[in-house]
Structure 1
Amino acid sequence: MDLNQSLGEADELFEAQAHIYRHIFNYATSMSLGCALELGIPNIIHDHERPITIQELVSKLNLPITKTLHLQRLMRLLIHSKFFSITKFHDQENEDEKEGYVLTVASKLLLKNNNTSENSQNQPNLLPFANLILDPVLMTPWQFLGKWFNGNESTVFETAHGTPMWEFANKNPGFNELFNDAMASDSRMMSLVVKDCKDIFGSVDSLVDVGGGTGLNAKILLEAFPHMTCTVFDLPHVVVNKIETKNLKYVGGDMFCSIPSTDAVFFKNVLHNWSDENVVKILKQCKEAIQRKEDDDDGDGKKGKLVIIDMVVDENQDRHEITETKLVFDILMMVLVTGRERTKNEWEKLFLEAGFSRYKITPIFGLRSLMEVFP
């Protein structure tokens, strides 16, 4: 074996080593980001109103000066991961050029919202979602994944905590609030493009948001399409005492038993929580709800539909990092609940099995697609 061949094989092995290390230490980036959020670094940088130096950041955080180098190392990793950026600037006294930290688009989505106005509360913000995913309650089950494969529990969460996640949430109000806040924060991203969905919602007079929780999805839809009447349909204890308006109603019930009749049934990030068998059961109830509405309208020929916002896994078309994120979400569904992320063909199989005849997929919501499904 000549030297070049030997070096080539060594390079390949070293590259493999780096690949392994990068993936087994991925959690370090998550934990470092969690630390930055816990310290409130995004808000400190935002409130500083100009690039902030490492010394100023240490001072604002009230950290011992001996932690300066350590904080700098933390920020270096998060800059590399594109959560922050560093820029050169001159201060007002025109002193020597300095370097300071600034926010990126990603960290702007992780700001604490201290403004209580309705408008600010509807701005996209993913801090509650990040706080949920990085919470020890959801981090712990990952340590039990191998044990779960050899056990009989339905989810890894149950293996770790002794109870399914939905029951755990019902018994732990603090976690339940954290979960609901996270789902609401994710829903606010919908407001970025929902106004462009006139072809989908413009002709819909009545809509039932199944699993709609506090009603944020419905409120976003009504803001864009005020002609609609929206009904938030969720478990009775979820919707009790919610404030209704002229075109926003709350109804308690069980989606496996019956769904209120409507022109359109709407799901956002709900069906991926459930197994294929349960999704088919839910979809059949949706079809009945649409058909009942058509019968109530004396057969005017108006066709109802199902509207779903959820992930569609497409390894052939999606960029590598998008596919990776979707596949991670798929494992997350396996860890926490009994659901999964699905490919186009897997969605189609469920639609047809439930009695729907056709569907249309529009990849408009980033990681998620909007699916229209017709009887």
Structure 2
Amino acid sequence: MGSANGLDASELFEGQALLYMNMFGFLQTMSLKWAMQQGIADIIYNHGKPITFTELVTTLQIPPAKTSLVKRLMRFLGHNGIFAIAGEEEEDHEAYDLTPASKLLISKAAHAGRSDPCLAPIIRMSADPLLINKFHQLGEFLSGDVETLYEVAYGKPVWGFLKDNPEYQSIFNEAMASDSQLVHLALKNCSSVFEGLDTLVDVGGGTGTTARSICEAFPKLKIVVYDLPQVVGNLSGSNNLSFVGGDMFKSIPEADAVLLKWVLHDWSDEVCIQILKNCKDSVSRNGNRGKVIIMDIIINEKEDTQVMTQTKLCMDLIMMGINGKERTGKEWKHLIKEAGFKDYKIFPFFGFRSLIEVYP
């Protein structure tokens, strides 16, 4: 075969396929959004068994002229692991079943009150056209002096944008709450982290989904969810859960431990160091020797699977848009040391996140 650019034809064609796959990557998001909007996971779940192609298009009320398009979308989603496909495609006997990924799209309504996690809200946020469009400004952002991609696209930082757009603040809060549902599953594997604590402050805890999971697992632990006044102002707590509005950049309420779940990746190193110093002050008052509990991503390309690394690196680019970042173990060590902490432990927690215990 011929050659060009110092490569033989097979290498060039492989390169072409890789470029095209990345070029059309947005179709993964859009197809997933379509499946979520149509409630396909709910349809299969309520069906009680794999649903045939004919049954699916009938339930979706797809016009006959477009049923073949649904088959192509489902083939794409199946190839990407969202649904499982079985049966004979040629005779329209193929059937679709749920996978671990699509089981996370089953709505609360379909689960009939059960507390199974549903990640549809975070997909809804990530696929929102306005929030996606900012990445069209990457070139202008990277070559200019404006600090964040949000400011280039919308004229203000992300937190200002959310404050001025209550509908997106609501979308954001629902997305973060849906993600926090999975914490409950992971608590069983790290109960020792919370044992022996009397008080905990969940900094940036949003609407309290994570805190409620911890309260359920550790009913004697008193937890304060500490977030911006506009986030927690209308929320009510319980006997061992309360909500307090404030500014983590100024001070953090005193406690045995401070929890930072998916908070520090929002900020630059300099800002993170200041937040950690405030956490250190919170758990060190009155001679207390508490700790800080960080739930966040640690990039580890050498040990992680390709899918796990790809997820983490995608998250890093998302954070780039708000002047945040996902960090390697070495970068976490730098933050912890610069904030004045003496010791820490890192261990896997759940999914693509790890848990870091930090001690003054």
> Which residue number in structure 2 is paired with residue 277 of structure 1?
270
What is the 5 A alignment of 1:5-16?
Answer: 9-16=8-15
- For the 8 Å contact 2:190–2:349, the answer to whether it is kept is no
User: Partner amino acid for 2:34?
Assistant: C
- For the 8 Å contact 2:199–2:222, the answer to whether it is kept is yes
- For the 8 Å contact 2:54–2:92, the answer to whether it is kept is no
> Which residue number in structure 2 is paired with residue 188 of structure 1?
181
User: Partner amino acid for 1:280?
Assistant: I
- For the 8 Å contact 1:51–1:99, the answer to whether it is kept is no
- 1:99 equivalent to 2:94? Answer yes
2-side partners of 1:341 and 1:17: how far apart?
Answer: 30
> Which residue number in structure 1 is paired with residue 352 of structure 2?
367
- 1:69 equivalent to 2:54? Answer no
Corresponding residue to 1:309 among 289, 295, 298: 295
> Which residue number in structure 1 is paired with residue 193 of structure 2?
200
Deviation for aligned residue 1:39: 1.9
User: Partner amino acid for 2:19?
Assistant: I
Corresponding residue to 1:347 among 307, 320, 332: 332
Deviation for aligned residue 1:97: 10
> Which residue number in structure 1 is paired with residue 309 of structure 2?
323
> Which residue number in structure 1 is paired with residue 77 of structure 2?
78
Secondary structure of 1:193's counterpart equals helix
Corresponding residue to 1:219 among 212, 216, 227: 212
- For the 8 Å contact 1:53–1:100, the answer to whether it is kept is yes
User: Partner amino acid for 2:337?
Assistant: L
TM-score, structure 2 length as denominator?
Answer: 0.94
What is the 5 A alignment of 1:152-167?
Answer: 152-167=145-160
What is the 5 A alignment of 1:217-256?
Answer: 217-256=210-249
- For the 8 Å contact 1:84–1:107, the answer to whether it is kept is yes
- 1:37 equivalent to 2:41? Answer no
- For the 8 Å contact 2:226–2:245, the answer to whether it is kept is yes
Deviation for aligned residue 1:226: 1.1
- 1:20 equivalent to 2:19? Answer yes
Deviation for aligned residue 1:137: 2.1
> Which residue number in structure 1 is paired with residue 318 of structure 2?
332
> Which residue number in structure 2 is paired with residue 124 of structure 1?
117
1-side partners of 2:251 and 2:166: how far apart?
Answer: 27
RMSD: 2.0
> Which residue number in structure 2 is paired with residue 93 of structure 1?
none
Corresponding residue to 1:111 among 103, 106, 112: 106
1-side partners of 2:307 and 2:43: how far apart?
Answer: 30
2-side partners of 1:158 and 1:306: how far apart?
Answer: 32
C-alpha offsets along residues 313-332 of structure 1, whole Å, 9 cap, x if unaligned? Answer: 11111112211211111111
Unaligned stretches of 5+ residues in structure 2: none
User: Partner amino acid for 1:326?
Assistant: K
User: Partner amino acid for 1:199?
Assistant: S
User: Partner amino acid for 2:296?
Assistant: D
User: Partner amino acid for 2:299?
Assistant: V
Corresponding residue to 2:202 among 206, 209, 220: 209
C-alpha offsets along residues 243-294 of structure 1, whole Å, 9 cap, x if unaligned? Answer: 12221111111101110010000010011001111111111111111111xx
Unaligned stretches of 5+ residues in structure 1: 90-95
* Between 266-275 and 57-66, the greater mean CA deviation after superposition: 57-66
Residue identity over aligned pairs, in percent, reads: 46
Deviation for aligned residue 1:14: 0.8
1-side partners of 2:311 and 2:93: how far apart?
Answer: 36
Deviation for aligned residue 1:4: 9.1
